[in-house]
Structure 1
């Protein structure tokens, strides 16, 4: 899951504040509505990942 992409897709602005070595420091800005869209998109992403995981597993086990 690319959380930065989720933020951008939700209408939030992701700003690179600085870089020290290989570590990047970023800030995220946006409206309350953008934050709500981000939360909705995050829940949807988690839900789809969970259902994908369930589809990969057998429905029952034979012991």
Structure 2
């Protein structure tokens, strides 16, 4: 079942927060793969571009 986000919500921030939470709770281990951008886009019913932005923000945060 797809998660639907309320209209007006900044979807890319929701995805970023979701991934940060799952990384923090240990769902994904170091070196493991995240779901693909297309899988996340379908899961959150948003564009792949928004998912790409969210993943890129996590990458940049990890480099600091």
- Does the pair score TM above 0.5? no
The structure with more helix, counted as a fraction of residues: 2
The structure with more strand, counted as a fraction of residues: 1
Greater C-alpha radius of gyration = 1
